Structure 1
């Protein structure tokens, strides 16, 4: 995990965090496969205060990890070298990619014939973004929607270089390359998943492969090189077939409503669509937690769909406004429980929790129901706050009722001075239990399936215990 803060001239700041997780492959028994993703997150680029650089590189092929790391080490270096002599960030980014691509070809220690890497780089000059993209890694921003002033809406800032793009495909075919599915060469080829990002591409009216199988670039004869991108750093064999390393350059000026900046590899975007990414971000008050949540969710979806995971990398920037110098996202930090729907749900579940607790004799209310089935979006801060209030109210009412009954009927008073040491011990171990339980819950957070499984198991144990005690 890497973090730092960018301060902008308009008084806002951007808190950055980055996280990369190696993929899981069940056949990699000796764990020899390396993380082929790399990322870079640097402040004060080219010695200029307030100028920042963020990049994600997704390697592929047998030397994909080496290719992505090579790009990480050299693209920023080349970019900074040019920026010390020029103010043209777009030209500097374009030149850096082309120079590094050639250097990768020339490096005799790296075989990049059928290996390479994607690249998405962002140069942040105050609130102005200059984005360079090669391949299918993603850069997007999240802005506060106009409908309700709370929901984060995703805006993808660049075009992916995929073989479904007619212009990209035409360039490759005019260079002598064939664009086809692997099954058209080998009928036994495995099918790939149809990702949310591919569905998103359909919404942009891009031609898509109906069965979800990936298109690849092949020479006029044979099954080489099988490159899955129309642009890439490396992939020297595919370069003669029209696969190029020239990046597309986009410019974007952050507006007041823009609160999140994200760069990620397809380990995220293949299973989590842009708007859903922003929905997860809105549940957190800091980018580090949002990174962990999205990487964890993507990992879970990969395993569920394919019994393996790709390498997963994401960089998130949370932007705070002038009135919000902490850098928190207003959507995430605002109390959604204060809306009318939130009030009704909170009151209803508060009563239900207390009622069920009293009915079953459970010493604590089953407040987990409040969060698992809430029809409204709950930030983590709101969940913790409401959970604490419900629990505190439950305890207070129990103590109050017990005190009243004890005052009215002496027989109801079960406290004994001789048992005070026992009460103290119980209080201490209970606090310890809360601490341990909270740590376990934090490890399970964002996984409702796990939480529900544990709850069902505990309820089953309670039921068995009640049956035995009543026998």
Structure 2
């Protein structure tokens, strides 16, 4: 069944939560509904329990700040891991960022170069967020590992996170979910700009790292188009992404929880941001998703319209294949 976004008064770090898609606000608005700037929606696939989680967090850090994240769980306990990361990572990351803000920058050559840069303030801010992402992702993975009540040896989750602070986007990607920007051009209307790289074992640099750690990268005969990661001497677990939280049986064989981090400075032409799990991107192109969001009836329904289109496309393209979970966040950047 589909799960609509909801508003909650508190997101607790120590609970997994029950809903897959959460729309949360952290500022004192009398009419929250009228202040929403996007939507999130999740629909379970035909493989069983929905293991996707997402959060659209308005008022993150500052009143106009936003945290968006999609987390695609896998393995027996993937649904638990994805919700745990969804509930814990926003506050963990913000705490790390605030701690770094109190530390005076050291007199390094890098900081000297930034001081001479016209956009030094934006650049230095990104560096602090980048350091916060690296440290918080590392802590998050350790917190999952030490939980005695949770076996994450062969379970985990991907994460694609975009943080908006003013006109700056900080993008952190771990795995094969994806972030795409809808940008207006004079020639072609609104076009899609992919902000992340799908971090799969088939990416040459990812495969090289895994093989250097004695992990195996190969595809099964029955699914020759999907490269997977295997233990050195066992035909397991067959992980279809190259970075993830959890999956500790493969952490010594090339699977890492270090995100790929980038920065995008927003322009007036940037209209909206879309984050989605691979269940959407497996059947819809970036251009198709951007077109759907552009023509959506309203902001509140945009995420659901993308998910509905993905479900329809799964039925058409892969009628005999079990459909993956589909989760989408749409964040509108302009009024």
Q: What range is the shorter-chain TM-score in?
A: 0.7 to 0.9
* 1:241 corresponds to 2:253: yes
Question: For 1:39, which of 43, 51, 54 is the aligned residue?
Answer: 54
The aligned length equals 280
Distance 2:88 2:26 in 1: 23
Contact 2:26 2:60 in 1 (8 A): no
Q: Deviations over 1:306-337 (max 9, x none)?
A: 443211100001232xxxxxx3xxxxxxxxxx
Distance 2:305 2:38 in 1: 15
Q: More strand by proportion, 1 or 2?
A: 2
Normalising to structure 2: TM-score of the pair?
A: 0.79
Distance 1:220 1:266 in 2: 27
- Deviation of the 1:154 alpha carbon: 0.3
- Is the partner of 1:280 in helix, strand or coil? helix
Q: More helix by proportion, 1 or 2?
A: 1
2:269 matched to which residue of 1?
257
Query: Which entry has the higher C-alpha Rg, 1 or 2?
Result: 1
Distance 2:217 2:268 in 1: 43
Flag structure 1 segments of 5+ consecutive residues without an equivalent: 8-12, 26-32, 184-189, 192-210, 321-326, 328-471
Aligned pairs (5 A) from 1:164-179: 164-179=202-217
Question: For 2:152, which of 112, 117, 120 is the aligned residue?
Answer: 112
- Deviation of the 1:6 alpha carbon: 11
1:124 matched to which residue of 2?
164
Contact 1:58 1:117 in 2 (8 A): yes
1:217 matched to which residue of 2?
229
- Deviation of the 1:4 alpha carbon: 7.3
Contact 1:286 1:318 in 2 (8 A): no
Aligned pairs (5 A) from 1:376-391: none
Could you say which structure has the greater relative contact order, defined with CA pairs below 8 angstroms and 6 or more residues apart?
A: 2
* 1:82 corresponds to 2:96: yes
- Is the partner of 1:84 in helix, strand or coil? helix
Flag structure 2 segments of 5+ consecutive residues without an equivalent: 6-22, 28-34, 102-127
Aligned pairs (5 A) from 1:4-19: 15-19=37-41
* 1:295 corresponds to 2:295: no
Alpha-carbon RMSD across the aligned residues, in angstroms, is 2.0
Question: For 2:198, which of 155, 160, 163 is the aligned residue?
Answer: 160
Q: Deviations over 1:119-175 (max 9, x none)?
A: 011111012100110001111101112314xx2100011122111111111110010
